[in-house]
Structure 1
């Protein structure tokens, strides 16, 4: 039986001695025996009639060769280079030289070294709490074993610690400040090791009550500021809306001022209506003053113009005196 690490080289031995009776041609054959007995053996390399044939098994193409370039010397050993985990299996060497026949079986196990090992901390790193240091290798053939050690300080694990070498967990019960430091984990199997480290810092408990109180106060302050902003925004919006409504009412409801000419004309029109409504009986009280001539054209046009002053009763009486009543 052979155990090798992945990537290494292995030599599977196969030596023989010929007798005087062995007179036939020499034939050396290496085969891979499957784990399932229902499957056939797989030829991987052969020496026959002074020639090597190595194209039978694609999984080892380019990675295998006879150790001795001339197997007729009695050495038919096989070299396998750059081993892979898939190369694990049972190999058989068969030597034939009629009438003699001999064979030998070899068990090869290719192991993978531990690799990509990671360390981590699980649990609260507070005084009085239980803390677990974890160590896991991403690669590596079983059986893996884990071992923790303290790098800083006394370099001894705390007395209250519990180590599980199979899972890689180191439990530190009732952690204290003295447990703080750098811890290293070594993962091991039969063909190699790998290592990682982690820093543990044990601190006093956090004041959760103060944090909660501060969070509540901060939330209330934030809500009050938000409410103030909303109130100011609404107030400003109402003021703008009110200004627009007032400006619109002034422009639509207030009528334009009347001109002086229209006022004067209305006044003269009212005087004419008053004169027109007088009857002969109403005019008896007025003194008729004869005119020597007909009023000029300018006098008749005067009522259509805007008077500079209101006419007196005396002027009205003189005008009426020349009216002929029918």
Structure 2
């Protein structure tokens, strides 16, 4: 070996010996911690300085990225005799140093109100020139199972497979489910099949003896919760009768709806027909004559027939009767009784002798029948 090479090896050994006697992390590294969400955890990092470590003390805690494409996050920092805990917003206010003066060799920190997002690898790095040391630890924050829900899936009838389910809304895997019967014989039916990973119990060909109270518990490494289920296995139902009743009910409802629609349709057609009859105008029928015009026409006809059959004996009666045959006008109906005209004077019939005595000449007028022929 050349003298230059020998000198270089001696120098490297001396440097390694110097570093070995410098700053040292005394807490064990490579450990794993499991905690439940909402709890607190202390990440231990004790160190020891050497007389040669005379530089400023720097302590850095960081959360290492699980992906090489991402950067490590500084959680808390101590430098220049001051602590800085605002580097990582998700942990702001939840992380602090255990010691008020980390220079005494305690760089441990405490995390409060743990969340599942706090899971990861943490590194403690202590630097005091020329010494430097670091350690890593894994923190696993597990979510405690939420209270599960127990229920029976499908009908619980004799002769059928009854499924009991137990589910929880949250909880860190792996979750383990356990079932037990707490009433009667306090043993699960012999035909029961349990799936502890999913939380189901299938009771094959269930019978009435399977009825009772069942207890389900779900848990992981940080906690457990439970629920209770009451199972009542009933006799099989008459599905054919139920189906027939449903069909008959549907038919009755359809018939009632059809009757209602028919009644509404008929009422609508009748109303439409009445409306068309009211609006129909017939051209071949003359308008009805008024009461007064009909009365006047009847009076005129009666006068004409009376004149045709008139004789001296009834001439005077015609004049009197004609006064009463007149149809009163609308004004006369409205006229007060005090304004009505006086009745015509009565004409007395005179005999032929009286007419001769008074200087008149009696005249014989042939008689006529009602149809106007001379008698």
- Provide the rounded CA distance (Å) in 1 between the counterparts of 2:95 and 2:40: 10
Q: Distance in 2 between matches of 1:167 and 1:230?
A: 54
SS at match of 1:317: coil
Query: Which residue in 2 is equivalent to 1:265?
Result: 303
Distance in 1, matches of 2:262 and 2:80, equals 104
How do residues 240-259 of structure 1 correspond to structure 2 at under 5 angstroms? none
Tell me if 1:106 matches 2:107. no
Task: Show the counterpart of 1:317.
Answer: 366
Q: Does 1:127 align with 2:158?
A: yes
Deviations 1:198-241 (A, max 9, x none): 22211111112222333444456566777778899969x98xx9
Determine the structure 2 residue equivalent to 1:115: 146
Distance 2:261 2:364 in 1: 76
Residue 9 (1) aligns with residue 58 (2): no
Match of 2:105 in 1: 74
Residue in 2 that maps onto 1:83: 114
Q: Secondary structure at the match of 2:156?
A: coil
Deviations 1:127-179 (A, max 9, x none): 11111111111111111111111122222111101111111111111111111
Name the CA distance, whole Å, in 1 between partners of 2:261 and 2:46.
Answer: 96
Task: Quote the offset at 1:265 in angstroms.
Answer: 3.0
- What's the counterpart of residue 58 of structure 1? 89
| Aligned position for 1:161 | 192
Q: TM-score of the superposition, structure 1-length normalised?
A: 0.74
More strand, by proportion: 1
| 1:42-72 superposed Cα distances (whole Å, 9 cap, x missing partner) | 2221222322122211121111111122212
Unaligned residue ranges in structure 2 (runs of 5+): 1-31, 278-286, 323-362, 369-375
Q: How many residues of Structure 1 are paired with residues of Structure 2 in the alignment?
A: 286
SS of 1:139's partner is coil
Structure 1 stretch displaced more, 255-264 or 18-27: 255-264
C-alpha distance in 2 between matches for 1:227 and 1:148: 55
Where in structure 2 are the equivalents of 1:12-51 lying within 5 Å? 12-51=43-82
TM-score of the two chains, using structure 2 as the length reference: 0.65
CA distance in 2, matches of 1:156, 1:173: 15
| Residue 206 (structure 1) aligned with residue 237 (structure 2) | yes
Q: Which residue of 2 aligns with 1:97?
A: 128
Whole-Å separation in 2 of the counterparts to 1:318 and 1:110: 143
Moved more, 205-214 or 130-139: 205-214
2:48 alignment partner, SS class: coil
